Amino acid sequence: MKWLVQVALRERVLVYLTALTIVALGVFSYENLQIEPYPDISPLMVRVLTQWPGRGAEEVERQITLPVEIAINGTPGMEIQRSISMYGLSVVIAIFRDGINDFEARHRIYNRISQANLPSGIVPVLDINTPATGEIFRYTLSGAPPDELKTLDDWVLERRFKEIPGVADESGMGGWIRQYQILLDLARLRDFNLTLGQVVSAVSAANNNVGAYVLNFGETAEVVRGIGLLRNRHDIENIMVAEVKGTPVLVKDIGSVQIGPQPRLGRVGRNFDNDTVEGVVLLLRGANTRHVLRHVHEKIREIEKHDLPKGVRIRPFYDRTDLMNWTLHTVIENLLLGITLVLLTLYLFLGNVRSALIVAATIPVALLAAFSFMKWKGISANLLSLGAIDFGILVDASVIVVENIYRHLMEDRPENERPTEAIYRAVSEVQGATVFSTLIVFSAYVPLIFMKGVEGKIFTPMAFTMGGGLLAAVFLSMTLSPALSSSLLSRIPPHEDTWLMRSVKESYAVILSFVLKNRAITLSIAGGILFLTMGVIFPRLGTEFLPKLEENNLYIRATYPVAISLPYGARITDAIRRMVLEVPEVETVTSEEGRPDDAYDVGGFWNAEFAIFFRPRSAWRKGIDKEIIQKEILEKLHTIPGVTYNVSQYIEDNVEEAVSGVKGQNSLKIFGPDPVVLERLGRQSMALLRTVKGFHDLGMFRIRGGPELLVRVDPMSCARYGVHAQDVENVLQTAVGGIAVTQVLKEEKRFDVTVRLTKAYRKDLKAIRSILVDSPDGSHIPLSQLATIEVKKGNTYIFREQNSRYVPVKFSIRGRDMGSAVEEARQVLSRSLSLPEGYRIRWYGEYKEMRDAQRRLLILTPLAVGLMFLLLYWSYRSVKYALLQLLSVPFALIGGVWALFLTGYPLSISAAIGFLSLFGIAIQDGMILINFVTSLRQRGMDMHSALLEGGRLRVRPVLMTALLAGFGLLPAALSTGIGNQAQKPLAIVIVGGVVTAILFTLLVLPVVYSLSGKLPVFQEEGFGAVSRDPQSGTSA
């Protein structure tokens, strides 16, 4: 690569133009790069939704869910199959392995469900193609009655938002859908000797337009249209049902027609508004969030100007832009502080502003080159991983090069040597060590590229960014740094080190001499500290999956008694909102009870969800933080009996449900065939888990207990009266539940026309028993004589996974690390819970993701260390020298472990990735020192003198590279800003680890090296071998 340095020094303008081109491409790539504040860590899911209005959970499971499950079993690429059956709805979820294209996955499922054997008229549909983090914008409407707001949202706003590229859909909830309801009087029907079936047929047949082609009138042709469509309530009232004794019987003669609500499945409230309409804008999977939200804001301004009736307002309460801005502010603040510390460190060690600026110039060019690489490969980024970028590591290659250039230029040079020759000589000396040490740091990030699951989705972009940045940085260190040095440093006169470096070198020389004379004491202390750290402190760290991203909100799920009705549940929901608003820091509370009509979200009347948003921090009471606010809210809510809660955050809640299939941070799933046994085991498990410290938000999702009015048609009784069983069921469905028979078209809107008995004939069990069914001979038979009617408890919510029923017990872990808490719980259950044959327990949620990630890291970490060893061996051509450098790894662990312990952070996946990065940094520092000392020995210097001289000349680059790596992430380690939580453990590990890495490299490694006097000096034929300069006596 020496030719590259020669070209860079000879063609400096070309180098500068190349750097500017990289910058321009990087800026363009960044503007078009998909950057999320929080990555979509959920697996690729395809949901099959099938609505069957009015049907119970068991019937939905048997006739809808099971046939769909059977149809999609064995779909290529599908790893897990889950399903939920509930009142009127079946949701079957196919989860695919990583690497499957979302459109291909949807196509495979779509082809499969067409083979499902379903009841007549039932058509399953694929859910919206949006990720778990796809709810990017939420709003409510105000200024009109709920039915008008609902109509406006369904027929105007939804269409307008779906015009935006990148918007998958808009899902509305709340308000009520208009219906034209024909309420029949059973007594009047009997008076005219009419049946419900006749009314249904008459109404259905009365709503039609026809075409009669055209008539030619001279030069013109006129289209002939027969207009018979229903337009309003008056038209419906005057539909003729039959003719009795020459007199037409109209709908209004046998009942009434009113505009009323379709049976409501859910309800929305906001602050003190108990019944409003909510809209959720959903992101298309793979779309650019920043761009889509910008268009959403533009579209809202357009809608407000042209589409909203007077007085109606769109009132946003959740905008992902806010989280993006908060997180971006934290990231930029940390990065700017990190860059400032890097520049300050460079200046203090080099004592020259120009040298510091030459090194710093690598940062933007390398980072933008990495963005170009990510854009080219189609890799998205997230602010969590970008915040973990260590600019100190990115400049290490340039630090090594520029420091050596600067040292050569400030020392006395031969009079006839030009500055460019000195620069070339300086770069050539450190070229091998620079390239190899950078490759070793790069190798620490290689395993991250192969990570899967949640941790892979979060940190793989960081690996590509850092990996691409490091490769660009080492290229720039061989081109841009020499070229800039030639332009800016050529006229530097020879001078001494700064006072700081003189003091450091003098102090280090004394300390190094001491440790070399007391090698046994030094190694004993180092070994003792290593044993204390790994044997005592490390086991006490505890484990967790990932720190939670602070979203500046709370999301609370309340679980009511399973048999609760929507109106009664609404009273509790409204009371909860008022309680939450009593907390001064709360600005907005929205509530959702039940589920939306489009089945986008799944929930019964017993499920209520509260999104809580806060005022600006400056308006909070003194000494108040989010944890205290959460505690105050829960203290208020726990005064309501019979209600359990799960506390999360908005994005976090959606992701938790997508990952585990349960609305909670973690869950215990008990699998088995019998719902009664499952519930018993669930209650026993929940009682046992309550005894374990750290378990909170415990709750079991009830699958039984919902009251059902069962009407069992008796075939023998039907046969006695000559009535078909289906006729009885049709009467029951029409009379009690109502049936939509046609629609009224209002411009582009459609509203159902339903037929149903008036409330007096279905208000209670006695009235339902008295409903009359017509027989072929014209007699009227009470329903109670054709069927047995009783109220029993049935299944309300049936969970299935991998073709087996289960009951979930949800829980959260607080006040304790997750790993030890769940391990204790597993032991408690294994001792005290007896499972019948055919039943089993599985753990899901963050705990399962943590265990899976740990297993993957147990494979990837040795691979990373092995890759480092191969590079070291390639460099030294010596196993012993390679192993000597690997000694840096365990001693670097010491600082990282103590940093976690002292800050109270458990060992998370983020921290583990920090340790991987730390390994490369520690080995790099060792190479800087040992390569130089070995080159001195190659020139005949004795071991002791070589160590002292090498230490004196290499202490600056060792300190600079390590401290820059630490200072680059120090702001992230100390920051408490929103969006900093995921990278904070990583930063803490690196900041703490570089301290012990420096101490080991400068104090312990020379001692170990001095004991290796019998080791053969490695030969120079290795690619990473040092170059000797007999005149200067310097090397890599």
The per-residue DSSP string of 420-442 comes to HHHHHHHHHHHHHHHHHHHHHHH
CATH of region 43-129, choose from 1.20.1250.20, 3.40.50.300, 3.30.70.1430, 3.40.50.1100: 3.30.70.1430
Query: Strand locations in 361-485, DSSP E?
Result: 381-382
Q: Rounded mean pLDDT of 892-915? A: 90
Percent of the chain topping pLDDT 70: 94
For helices 879-886 and 846-876, angle between their N-to-C axes, nearest 10 degrees: 140
For the domain made up of 2-32+351-545+851-1010, the CATH class stated in words is mainly alpha
Q: Between 380 and 932, where is the model more confident?
A: 932
Asked if 92 and 116 touch (Cβ cutoff 8 Å), the reply is no
Q: 65-74, 193-202, 330-339, 798-807 — which is least confidently predicted?
A: 330-339
Query: Between β-strands 266-270 and 586-594, what pairing exists: parallel, antiparallel or unpaired?
Result: antiparallel
635-654 pLDDT, tens digit each? 999 999 989 888 888 888 88
What integer pLDDT is reported at residue 527 of this predicted model? 92
What integer pLDDT is reported at residue 825 of this predicted model? 93
Q: 368 Cβ partners below 8 Å, 6+ apart? A: 22, 23, 25, 26, 27, 29, 30
Positive or negative, the Cα torsion across 948, 953, 955, 957?
negative
The per-residue DSSP string of 486-535 comes to HHHSTTPPP-PPPHHHHHHHHHHHHHHHHHHH-HHHHHHHHHHHHHHIII
What integer pLDDT is reported at residue 975 of this predicted model? 74
365-407 pLDDT, tens digit each? 988 888 888 888 777 777 666 766 777 788 888 888 888 888 7
Both tokens assigned to 353:
């502003």
Q: Rounded mean pLDDT of 89-93? A: 92
Q: 11 Cβ partners below 8 Å, 6+ apart? A: none
Three-class DSSP category at 238: coil
The yes-or-no verdict on residue 1035 having pLDDT over 50 is no
What integer pLDDT is reported at residue 1019 of this predicted model? 41
Q: Tally DSSP H helices, then E strands, for the chain.
A: 38, 32
The yes-or-no verdict on residue 583 having pLDDT over 90 is yes
Q: 1-15, 62-76, 93-107 — which is least confidently predicted?
A: 1-15
- 219 torsion bin: left (phi>0), alpha (psi -120 to 50), beta (else): alpha
User: Which amino acid would we find at residue 278?
Assistant: E
Tell me which residue of 686, 684, 685, 678 sits closest to 703, measured CA to CA: 678
Q: Rounded mean pLDDT of 188-198? A: 85
Asked if 930 and 1009 touch (Cβ cutoff 8 Å), the reply is yes
What integer pLDDT is reported at residue 70 of this predicted model? 94
Banded pLDDT at 361 (limits 50, 70, 90): confident
What integer pLDDT is reported at residue 1020 of this predicted model? 39
The yes-or-no verdict on residue 1031 having pLDDT over 70 is no
Rounded Cα distance, 998 and 857, in Å: 26
Banded pLDDT at 979 (limits 50, 70, 90): low
Query: Buried b / exposed e across 928-942, counting CB within 10 Å, b at 16+?
Result: bbbbbbbbbbbeebe
Q: Between 1006 and 965, where is the model more confident?
A: 1006
What integer pLDDT is reported at residue 1023 of this predicted model? 34
113-142 pLDDT, tens digit each? 988 999 988 999 998 888 888 899 999 999
Rounded Cα distance, 817 and 1000, in Å: 31
Other Cβ atoms less than 10 A from the Cβ of 459: the count is 29
Mean pLDDT of the chain: 85
Residue 974's Cβ-side half-sphere holds a number of Cα atoms within 13 Å equal to 12
Residue 676, burial from CB neighbour count under 10 angstroms (0-12, 13-18, 19+): exposed
User: Which amino acid would we find at residue 324?
Assistant: M
Query: Buried b / exposed e across 112-136, counting CB within 10 Å, b at 16+?
Result: bbeebebeeeeebeebbbbbbbbbb
Q: Rounded mean pLDDT of 813-837? A: 90
Banded pLDDT at 1013 (limits 50, 70, 90): low
What integer pLDDT is reported at residue 434 of this predicted model? 83
Q: 242-246, 584-588, 754-758 — which is least confidently predicted?
A: 242-246
The domain defined by 178-261+707-795 folds into 3.30.2090
Residue 1035, burial from CB neighbour count under 10 angstroms (0-12, 13-18, 19+): buried
Q: 168-172, 826-830, 893-897, 952-956 — which is least confidently predicted?
A: 952-956
Rounded (10°) CA dihedral 52, 58, 63, 69: 100
Residue 639, burial from CB neighbour count under 10 angstroms (0-12, 13-18, 19+): exposed
Q: 823 Cβ partners below 8 Å, 6+ apart? A: none
Banded pLDDT at 604 (limits 50, 70, 90): confident
Banded pLDDT at 942 (limits 50, 70, 90): confident
The yes-or-no verdict on residue 292 having pLDDT over 90 is yes
What residue spans define the domains of the chain?
2-32+351-545+851-1010, 43-129, 178-261+707-795
Banded pLDDT at 415 (limits 50, 70, 90): low
155-169 pLDDT, tens digit each? 999 999 999 999 999
Percent of the chain topping pLDDT 90: 31
The yes-or-no verdict on residue 554 having pLDDT over 90 is yes
Banded pLDDT at 568 (limits 50, 70, 90): very high
Q: Rounded mean pLDDT of 477-491? A: 86
Asked if 582 and 255 touch (Cβ cutoff 8 Å), the reply is no
1-37 pLDDT, tens digit each? 677 888 888 888 999 999 999 999 989 988 887 777 6
Query: Strand locations in 796-947, DSSP E?
Result: 797-801, 804-813, 840-845
Q: Between 938 and 303, where is the model more confident?
A: 303
Tell me which residue of 865, 862, 904 sits closest to 988, measured CA to CA: 904
Banded pLDDT at 779 (limits 50, 70, 90): confident
What integer pLDDT is reported at residue 1024 of this predicted model? 39
Q: Rounded mean pLDDT of 314-338? A: 83
Both tokens assigned to 155:
């027929």
Q: Rounded mean pLDDT of 82-109? A: 90
Q: Rounded mean pLDDT of 549-572? A: 88
Asked if 362 and 395 touch (Cβ cutoff 8 Å), the reply is yes
Tell me which residue of 636, 579, 569 sits closest to 603, measured CA to CA: 569
Banded pLDDT at 493 (limits 50, 70, 90): low
- Residue that has been written with the tokens 């919206």 in this structure: 128
Banded pLDDT at 669 (limits 50, 70, 90): very high
User: Which amino acid would we find at residue 227?
Assistant: I
Q: 769 Cβ partners below 8 Å, 6+ apart? A: 782, 783, 784, 789
Both tokens assigned to 689:
């888990």
Asked if 47 and 102 touch (Cβ cutoff 8 Å), the reply is no
Q: Give the number of residues written for the chain.
A: 1036
Rounded Cα distance, 780 and 774, in Å: 5
Rounded Cα distance, 469 and 398, in Å: 12
